[in-house]
Chain A
């Protein structure tokens, strides 16, 4: 199977969907002539031309709203946000319009729009450019949110998102863009709402999404090598819909849970997952649920400190040992 980067996997997903459906349009700042701020859309303008690959002004409320309006009439826009942090100036469009119109119209209208782009800290760019709004957005019924951690999932989830008839927000991670992995050439999708057990284990379940999955897998390796503990890592992949069954099945097996995410602690995705476990598998637990999130402050600029603000391997190992104690 070909080994390609997370970035190339995203691009492959868009290329294949652009070819499959002429209603698919790629839109965003610098996506066409500049080949993408992160080169995710590189070469697409050349291949598909300016009708399908559209550069927008720096006008998130305007162009995201335009995409949503176009989607109501059946266009399938895939909008790139240079950073999900910039979604905040388009919040009304993203939440009130894309998220509510189907409901408020009693099901008469749907918005098959995809908004994608990086949502991560860890890049030394300060607080305004480091937001991770997956929990904020997933708290709105009407919206779907996915967070791929690997190239395989990036391609499969983005293709599923583009074919989905509801608004799907794809949160990527600039630090993962160069990560490589096996990705089939052929057409496949990763359905929304299906978690993936990225590592099988018996003593502790770690639930994570996005780059926290990669961090957790590294921690699991250390826990096995140095502490003789067998850790199962569940990658949520999709935040809403949420694969509750896979989480619960793992906890029923290991009886211990650690939740890891790069969000800030207050009402993160882990809050929902912790509630789920205690409500549906309370009697299975041999220890309280623990979590590792980013240190609760706006994202710090200083790189040395930012690396510690985010969940790192050491912190995950330490917290895992507490759950196992």
Chain B
């Protein structure tokens, strides 16, 4: 096996999970109680939204692929909670958590899953293709690694326009072996682009463990060295640590216009997608261990209880509210209409959808 003897993992991951070593980091102490509670609420909302999706999928209302984010909540929550006006993000197909974090509503997210016209993409994208450009969220992309060059382009545009901003381009641990990702790394480093490549390392690409897919020098982030990029490894079960280390990368992007690769160690509780029976490549004990010891939502909950930011009653109320919101979203999706047959041929071309004095193209563009 190509796995090196010395693994470069986050220090905090080498010890049993306890109170966060990053609670005192300025980026976290800067949070008010209200902001901390809001961050926890967002993580709980992702958790309950995803779990509600399972039921709807099992009822046969969600088609295609459904990749759940359960277990990985602290990654999207920690990173996105830091973003400002000119910070953009783009990810792969495991994209619900990011969508909810940027402020997409459960309703539009759920309706998209069931292919309804009230969905964020009017039923044209599905689970893997959420978009909210008004919230700087550029998708939701189904081809592994294909979003990395796009994210690099978003960072390029931010820099071109002279804005102090960045792009966070997320991908999985399997995606790092795509050529497009390496091309993006090279361009980002070559042109000093304000981008953070966030590798959400959940240990598996579908049913292939990282050991079986990837030759690496101790960790995946270290590949950045080949391009002269900064990198870091992060314990993705601890939202405070995610925030603390991502903040440094953001600073690098904002102040120096330099790229970073962050590898965030995380874990997914369910199969790769709902189509994965999850029986062949990992044992139940492993999943149980993560659930019991390293659950990012529970760990943050404990943290906030200890900090007296939240009471047990408040925690319960937050979770109940999130469940109720997911229920309402399910009902909303149920009650929403499908797109029409006429809708099939809309949103293909800007020029067709915006015919007017400013458009010049003519001729037949949609064929019989």
Residues of chain A whose beta carbon lies under 8 Å from any beta carbon of chain B: 25, 51, 56-57, 59, 61-75, 92-93, 96-97, 101-110, 112, 141-142, 144, 160, 163-166, 189, 191-195, 238, 240-245, 272, 279
Contacts and interface: CB of A to CB of B under 8 A. Distances in A.
A244 B131 contact: no
With most chain B CB atoms within 10 A of its CB, the pick from A74, A108, A160 is A108
Contacts of A62: 149, 152, 180, 183-184, 186-187
7 contacts: A65-B183, A69-B157, A102-B349, A105-B121, A109-B131, A109-B133, A164-B360
B361 interface: yes
A107 B124 CA distance: 9
Contacts of B183: 59, 61-63, 65
A10 B2 CA distance: 51
Contacts of A65: 146, 148-150, 152-153, 180, 183-184
B111 to A, nearest CB: 11
A97 B138 CA distance: 11
Nearest to B363: A193
Interface of B: 88, 90, 119-125, 129, 131-134, 138-143, 146, 148-154, 156-158, 160-161, 179-180, 183-184, 186-187, 190, 346-351, 353-354, 360-368
B126 to A, nearest CB: 8
A64 B350 contact: no
Contacts of B349: 102, 142, 144, 166
A25 B161 CA distance: 12
A107 B149 contact: no
Given A59-B183, A66-B150, A70-B154, 7 more contacts: A64-B149, A66-B156, A101-B139, A109-B139, A160-B360, A241-B365, A279-B368
Nearest to A161: B361
Contacts of A97: 141, 146, 150
B124 A63 contact: no
A102 B122 CA distance: 12
B153 A66 contact: yes
Contacts, number: 195
Given A63-B187, A241-B363, A164 B124 contact: no
A70 B157 CA distance: 5
Contacts of A166: 349-351
A71 B134 CA distance: 15
Nearest to A27: B156
Contacts of B153: 65-73, 75
A57 B152 CA distance: 14
A63 B180 CA distance: 10
B148 to A, nearest CB: 7
A63 B152 CA distance: 9
A142 B348 contact: yes
B156 A69 contact: yes
Contacts of A92: 143, 146, 180
Nearest to A111: B350
A51 B160 CA distance: 8
B347 A72 contact: no
A104 B121 CA distance: 6
B16 to A, nearest CB: 41
A102 B138 CA distance: 11
Contact of B364 (A61, A103, A104, A193): A193
A97 B157 CA distance: 17
Contacts of A66: 149-150, 152-153, 156, 184, 187
Contacts of B347: 102-103, 105-107
B360 A244 contact: no
Contact of B361 (A74, A93, A191): A191
Contacts of A93: 146, 149-150, 180
Contacts of B364: 193, 241-244
A57 B182 CA distance: 12
Contacts of B129: 104-105
A57 B187 contact: yes
A141 B347 CA distance: 10
A241 B88 CA distance: 33
Given A61-B180, A189-B360, A241-B364, A68 B149 contact: yes
A166 B346 CA distance: 14
A253 to B, nearest CB: 19
B362 A241 contact: yes
Contacts of B143: 92, 96
Nearest to B167: A69
